[in-house]
Structure 1
Amino acid sequence: MATPRMPHARKPDAQMNGAAIILKALQDQGVEVVFGYPGGAVLPIYDEIFKSNRIRHILVRHEQAAVHAAEGYARSTGKVGCVLVTSGPGATNAVTGLTDALMDSIPIVCLTGQVPTHLIGNDAFQEADTTGITRPCTKHNYLVKDVEKLADTIHEAVYVAKTGRPGPVVVDLPKDVLFAEGPYYAPNGHEHPTYKPQVKGEPDAIERAVDLLAKAKRPIFYGGGGLINAGPKASRLFTELVRLTHAPATLTLMGLGAYPSQDRQFVGMLGMHGTYEANLAMYNCDVMMNIGARFDDRVTGRISDFAPNSTKVHVDIDPSSINKNVVVDLPIIGDAAEVLEQMIKIWKAKNYKANAKPLEKWWAQIEKWRKRECLKFEEDPKIIKPQHAIKRLYELTLERDVYITTEVGQHQMWAAQYFGFEEPNRWMTSGGLGTMGYGLPAAMGVQIAHPEATVIDIAGEASYLMNIQELSTLSQYRLPVKSFIVNNQWMGMVRQWQELNHGGRYSESYSESLPDFIKVAEAFGGVGLRAENVDQLDDVIMEMLETDRFVLADILVKKDENCFPMIPSGAAHYEMLLGPDDKSELETSEDGMVLV
């Protein structure tokens, strides 16, 4: 909790009640949509929403879904997502979404109701210590007890949420402050006196990084979600620098779309379910250029064997991410777009050229790894393989303006592997927290932001049930979201780990009583479809895409299919498994590369 800077010395722009101050501040900050659910403590704000009619409110069916919807809206637009919930359970229901946004660096401003100031600490009806509860799961939070500070607090909350490493900010609002008359101050346009994240990289460090790239024999670019957060410019510059250097590029789960998936220099996603070529290239590289990734444990595998012979460069706007998981040789603090622009300028000014002969050898080895075709799977003429279902979904949507969200589990990894992304902000998934129930409300937020686009939630049947009540929201606002349910009747990733690590003891991972998804869709006013075999799949996908209402497509897939490639927990990149019977047999080259 923090107290914002004191109100301006100048005269206020207007006098109004606290609720009106909040809405006026949000409007002046460019907020157009709020996702929320009303309750007694925030009724003054809802009354102002009704009277002003200037901010669109989307009524969700659960507060967790409100935050996920705001995340989808924010991640697909680059704007700040806004949430409004009541006190007590309204705020506590939002905690999962706030933690999800914190882990994935999504800019959210969450307004929470609170009991009147004189009742705080009295265990009043629907009271909770919201600032205490949310302190560990937000970038920052505020409890506003003085209407004089309200306008500045809202302006500051939006600034903090979107500046530097983005994240969720909570503003807790006692009910008496919402009724009180107070001054409204417009944004003053001045720089914040204390929070000033560094955006440009230190020039000497930039020069050293570019020099390393020019001399590298086995370089690799490693891009993360920070590239997406830095805006489309960062992805364009990342692509330009990768092509200038002729180096391979890999992306994390959260970075997908920052580099075109069909480009020859893209070696695929990195990490636990990444490609063989990406993981082996990472292990064997001599210069690693990390732009906006946090060295997540699902990417690094065993830390001691993570790119052990490389010089590591880490570019990140968050100083606390530097050397937290992996100690690097050259840290550069700054915004991804700004730093990439600096790097390109130096590369061109010094007339650097790619290190041709060593790079030719490096690419020859990468092509050998590619020939393993790690994402190849055996087709089945009758039973739908989940990989095939997602691959066909991708192929049949190539000519469409598509945004993809996912739930969490095997289907999420298959979507990352088989659905290609050529540009940023088209891929919304829960990476850090791995939140089941994320995909449907996130798709809702994306569809609100992009009403003419095709928005598809690639889901698993177990995860989908977590927030299935949001079908009511889709119905109310006529949002034509498409739910592509990869239905294997199991909590698939749980079952896979039970098979691989727990002797096939499938404890509580089978879904005994799934609903009829066609009837569920129809009950909420949508369309239900089902594909039970390969021959039906394409027709179901096309009907789903061409339907102008929301659709639940229930795709019955092979029940016991596992997700490969896979790096077992705690293993190194070269110990990845390409299938259930795969055994890693080490082979090294003359220059020490691990070839496997």
Structure 2
Amino acid sequence: MKLTGAEIIIKTLIEQGVTDVFGYPGGQVINIYDALYKYRDQINHVLTAHEQGASHAADGYSRATGKVGVCIATSGPGATNLVTGIATAMLDSIPMVAITGNVPCSLIGKDSFQEIDITGITLPITKHNYFVNDVSKLADSIREAFRIAKSGRPGPVLVDVPKDVQVATYEFEEEPIPEKFPLPLAKEEQIAQAVAMLNAAKRPYIYIGGGAAGLGLGQEIIALAEKLDAYIGCTFMGLSAVNGDCDRFLGMQGMHGHYASSMAQKESDLILGIGVRFSDRATGKVSAYAKGSKVIQLDPDFSEINKNVTVDLGIVADVKDAFRRIAAEVGKQEHPEWRAAVGKLQAQEARFDSEQRERAGEKLVPRRLFDIINAKKPPKTVIATDVGQHQMWTAQYASFDGPRRFVSSGGLGTMGFGMGAAIGAQVATKDPVVLITGDGSFGMNLNELATAVTYQIPLVIVIVNNGVLGMVRQWQTLFFGGRYSNTVLERKTDFVKLAEAFGAVGMTASTPAEFEQAFTDALAIQGPVVIDTYIDKDEFVLPMLPPGGSIEDIITNVDTKGEKPNAK
């Protein structure tokens, strides 16, 4: 059948299994929006308050499901407003297809109204992008965009379509969804070498990242840890990959990771990295990382092998297949000395946690805030965050109900990510969603509260309000002599009134009892609820690694009034 280019775009999205898209209309995508109206019974469009919100919503949609998220924007500022969201997806390997309109082909290169070279702008932050100047190539370009986005190491792809291509007509025939591009399988000798190294290890540590989080290997990773008498740590992006209640799971390592996890990695003699980049955020001083350990790295992306940490064995392959083959062949191991050593680290961490609770008394501190959230949140809750201290407290203290129950910006660290991402996650899953944000981050994209109200999306938005840009101020306290340059938010924002002005419900809480009541009430409301919680500005995220420091320099206790930290 003959369709316009705009209709071909929407029909191809439907063909690819897309049921929801996020976007904002404009002159150069008006034909696409007309086609969306025509096919509105087959594809749902969520109108966000800003194109950046649309990109984050598509990202959150993908993180919560593993499906390709889709966002649409017009040319010029509409397209450039997607850039931060596309970059966020790129650094965290999130499959996304961004569709932008552009001026007609005859006006390209003439500085036309709202003309911008969005393919050039996004070249470094996409897996691939397309400028489609021929309607006959439109459907196949979109199909290939989806295939690229979800194959190998996932990531965002942009498709830029001039307006005259949207108006032109061409025959369209629906095609089956193509398989992902196949990944190579690990060679037998690589599997054998990995098995031999694991069997020989006395202090094995399994290190999981974002590349493992979406593979559904959680129980199998735990089973391998039991078999090897190993312990499991993770990156920030690896959170929720395995059950946090497992005795073998030590939590996140690195900059603000759990003490036991970071120190166990330091004391290990072999690290099995599964879908990890070994980024500086997780390793600390790279030159000091894994000095006493052999390292095995499983990853689908050749460019990640030896990029940050020199490894003893790098396997570029289908990670799930390689992992299962290794797990099937390793022998049962017993390492009582390793268990005892890790047990001591866990006891030290428990002591730090106990001391923090004792110091808090009846104050509402992050640890107590998450005790309440963990106890009260419904099953299958998705926890989303913005970026800042609240994000790290979430990583340290929140419990997750399974894979894809944690939605947060890792690699780019995008303040303002949370609202759009939380909306996308709820649209995708229809499950309860709790957004943890800060008074700084929330201000970045709070306009998306209007989107949540319009669509009556049930979100519980917890603002961890300390009146400062907490993470930067923490560094200023510890390493810059308490010189608080532009990190004190001397604002008078009443978040309850603001929420009500948008049509949402607003609440406040300054004690544990008040927060427990507010959170319980919020969960019963069908629609967005903002809970403004008051946290002392001198609550710090600990442990932490000092700038340029290694794992052995980990800081667990500080005098927040002074200049110098009391390490360990």
Give the TM-score range, shorter chain.
over 0.9
**Would the aligned equivalents of 1:228 and 1:255 in 2 still touch at CA under 8 Å?**
yes
Q: Deviations over 1:191-247 (max 9, x none)?
A: 68xxx4524222211121122112210110000000123x32x33332332222220
**Would the aligned equivalents of 2:186 and 2:316 in 1 still touch at CA under 8 Å?**
yes
| Structure 2 residue matching 1:372: 3-state secondary structure | helix
Q: 1:268 aligns with which of 242, 251, 255?
A: 251
Q: 1:415–1:369: structure 2 CA closer, same or farther, 3 Å change rule?
A: same
Counterpart of 2:387 in structure 1 is 408
Q: Does 1:573 align with 2:523?
A: no
**Would the aligned equivalents of 2:542 and 2:557 in 1 still touch at CA under 8 Å?**
yes
Q: 2:269 aligns with which of 281, 286, 295?
A: 286
Query: What amino acid does structure 2 have at the position aligned with 1:489?
Result: G
Counterpart of 1:8 in structure 2 is none
Counterpart of 2:37 in structure 1 is 50
For the residues of structure 1 that align with 2:485 and 2:27, how far apart are their CA atoms? Answer: 42
Q: 1:337 aligns with which of 316, 320, 332?
A: 320
- After TM superposition, give the deviation of residue 165 of structure 1 in Å: 0.3
Q: 2:336 aligns with which of 360, 373, 376?
A: 360
**Would the aligned equivalents of 2:15 and 2:177 in 1 still touch at CA under 8 Å?**
no
Counterpart of 1:7 in structure 2 is none
Q: Does 1:369 align with 2:345?
A: yes
Q: Deviations over 1:64-111 (max 9, x none)?
A: 111110111101001000010000001100000000000000000000
Counterpart of 2:233 in structure 1 is 250
Q: Deviations over 1:41-67 (max 9, x none)?
A: 000000011012121000001111111
Q: Does 1:29 align with 2:16?
A: yes
Q: Deviations over 1:545-568 (max 9, x none)?
A: 222221000011112111100111
**Would the aligned equivalents of 1:25 and 1:155 in 2 still touch at CA under 8 Å?**
yes
**Would the aligned equivalents of 2:95 and 2:156 in 1 still touch at CA under 8 Å?**
yes
Equivalent positions of 1:138-537 (< 5 A) are 138-187=126-175, 196-229=181-214, 231-232=215-216, 234-347=217-330, 352-354=331-333, 356=334, 359-373=335-349, 374-376=352-354, 377-379=356-358, 380-397=360-377, 399-451=378-430, 453-537=431-515
| Structure 2 residue matching 1:110: 3-state secondary structure | strand
- After TM superposition, give the deviation of residue 190 of structure 1 in Å: 6.0
For the residues of structure 1 that align with 2:177 and 2:68, how far apart are their CA atoms? Answer: 18
Q: Percent identity?
A: 44
For the residues of structure 2 that align with 1:363 and 1:574, how far apart are their CA atoms? Answer: 20
Query: What amino acid does structure 1 have at the position aligned with 2:262?
Result: N
Query: What amino acid does structure 1 have at the position aligned with 2:16?
Result: Q
**Would the aligned equivalents of 1:375 and 1:565 in 2 still touch at CA under 8 Å?**
no
Q: 1:382–1:237: structure 2 CA closer, same or farther, 3 Å change rule?
A: closer
**Greater Cα offset, 328-337 or 182-191:** 182-191
| Structure 2 residue matching 1:371: 3-state secondary structure | helix
Query: What amino acid does structure 1 have at the position aligned with 2:414?
Result: T
Query: What amino acid does structure 2 have at the position aligned with 1:44?
Result: N
| Structure 2 residue matching 1:128: 3-state secondary structure | coil
| Structure 1 residue matching 2:206: 3-state secondary structure | strand
For the residues of structure 2 that align with 1:170 and 1:90, how far apart are their CA atoms? Answer: 13
- After TM superposition, give the deviation of residue 396 of structure 1 in Å: 1.9
Counterpart of 1:6 in structure 2 is none
- After TM superposition, give the deviation of residue 346 of structure 1 in Å: 2.3
Q: Does 1:123 align with 2:103?
A: no
For the residues of structure 1 that align with 2:515 and 2:133, how far apart are their CA atoms? Answer: 57
TM-score by length of 2: 0.96
**Would the aligned equivalents of 1:407 and 1:430 in 2 still touch at CA under 8 Å?**
yes
**Would the aligned equivalents of 2:456 and 2:526 in 1 still touch at CA under 8 Å?**
no
For the residues of structure 2 that align with 1:135 and 1:514, how far apart are their CA atoms? Answer: 41
**Would the aligned equivalents of 1:459 and 1:486 in 2 still touch at CA under 8 Å?**
yes
**Would the aligned equivalents of 1:152 and 1:185 in 2 still touch at CA under 8 Å?**
no
**Would the aligned equivalents of 1:199 and 1:338 in 2 still touch at CA under 8 Å?**
no
Query: What amino acid does structure 2 have at the position aligned with 1:501?
Result: F
For the residues of structure 2 that align with 1:244 and 1:433, how far apart are their CA atoms? Answer: 36
**Would the aligned equivalents of 1:241 and 1:340 in 2 still touch at CA under 8 Å?**
no
Query: What amino acid does structure 1 have at the position aligned with 2:371?
Result: K
For the residues of structure 2 that align with 1:130 and 1:514, how far apart are their CA atoms? Answer: 38
For the residues of structure 2 that align with 1:128 and 1:301, how far apart are their CA atoms? Answer: 39
Q: 1:163–1:523: structure 2 CA closer, same or farther, 3 Å change rule?
A: same
For the residues of structure 2 that align with 1:121 and 1:522, how far apart are their CA atoms? Answer: 46
Instruction: Give the number of aligned pairs.
Output: 558
For the residues of structure 1 that align with 2:461 and 2:483, how far apart are their CA atoms? Answer: 31
**Would the aligned equivalents of 1:237 and 1:340 in 2 still touch at CA under 8 Å?**
no
**Would the aligned equivalents of 1:217 and 1:362 in 2 still touch at CA under 8 Å?**
yes
Where structure 2 has 5 or more consecutive residues not aligned to the other structure, the ranges are: 560-564
**Would the aligned equivalents of 1:218 and 1:286 in 2 still touch at CA under 8 Å?**
yes
Q: 1:514–1:226: structure 2 CA closer, same or farther, 3 Å change rule?
A: farther
- After TM superposition, give the deviation of residue 420 of structure 1 in Å: 1.6
| Structure 2 residue matching 1:123: 3-state secondary structure | coil
Q: 1:42–1:103: structure 2 CA closer, same or farther, 3 Å change rule?
A: same
**Would the aligned equivalents of 1:283 and 1:574 in 2 still touch at CA under 8 Å?**
yes
Counterpart of 1:590 in structure 2 is none
Q: Deviations over 1:357-398 (max 9, x none)?
A: xx110110111111112444134344311222122211222x
For the residues of structure 2 that align with 1:335 and 1:388, how far apart are their CA atoms? Answer: 41
| Structure 1 residue matching 2:558: 3-state secondary structure | coil
- After TM superposition, give the deviation of residue 524 of structure 1 in Å: 1.3
Where structure 1 has 5 or more consecutive residues not aligned to the other structure, the ranges are: 1-13, 586-596
Equivalent positions of 1:72-83 (< 5 A) are 72-83=60-71
**Greater Cα offset, 535-544 or 215-224:** 535-544
| Structure 2 residue matching 1:249: 3-state secondary structure | strand
Q: 1:584–1:484: structure 2 CA closer, same or farther, 3 Å change rule?
A: closer
